[in-house]
Amino acid sequence: DDQQPTYRRVLLKISGEALMGDAGYGLNPPTVQKIAEEVKSVHDMGVEICMVIGGGNIFRGLAGSAQGMERTTADYMGMLATVMNALAMQSALEGLGVFTRVISAIRMDEVAEPYIRRRAVRHLEKKRVVIFAAGTGNPYFTTDTAATLRANEMACEAIFKGTKVDGVYDKDPKKYSDAVRYDEVSYDEALAKRLGVMDASAIALARDNNKPIIVFSLDEPGGFKGILAGEGTYTKVTN
Binding site for ATP, residues?
13-16, 56, 60, 163, 169, 172
Q: Which residues are annotated as a binding site for UMP?
A: 55, 75, 136-143
34 binds ligand UDP (CB under 6 A): no
How buried is residue 125: exposed, middle or buried, by Cβ count under 10 Å (0-12/13-18/19+)?
A: exposed
**Closer CB to ligand UDP, 56 or 223, in the complex:** 56
Q: What is the DSSP letter of 22?
A: T
Mask of contacts with ligand UDP, 108-147, x by CB under 6 A?
---------------------------xx-xx-xxxx-x-
Name the residue with the smallest CB distance to ligand UDP. Answer: 54
Strand partners, 53: 14
Q: Which of 11, 39, 61, 93 binds ligand UDP (CB under 6 A)?
A: 61
Q: How far is the CB of 211 from ligand UDP (least distance, A)?
A: 17
Interface with ligand UDP in residues 69-88 (CB under 6 A): 75, 78-79, 81-82
Torsion on CA atoms 136, 126, 85, 21, rounded to nearest 10: 130
CA atoms within 13 A on the CB side of 207: 16
Q: Does 162 bind ligand UDP (CB under 6 A)?
A: no
Q: What is the DSSP letter of 178?
A: T
Backbone dihedral angles phi then psi of residue 55, each to the nearest 5 degrees: -135, 5
Q: Which helix (H) or strand (E) holds 219?
A: none
Cα(198)–Cα(194) distance, integer angstroms? 9
> Closest Cα to residue 213, out of 40, 13, 8?
13
Q: Which amino acid is at 231?
A: E
Q: What is the x/- site pattern for ligand UDP, positions 1-20, by CB under 6 A?
A: --------------xxx---
List binding-site positions: 13-16, 55-56, 60, 75, 136-143, 163, 169, 172
Residues of the shown chain interacting with ligand UDP in the complex, contacts defined by CB under 6 A: 15-17, 54-56, 60-62, 75, 78-79, 81-82, 135-136, 138-139, 141-144, 146
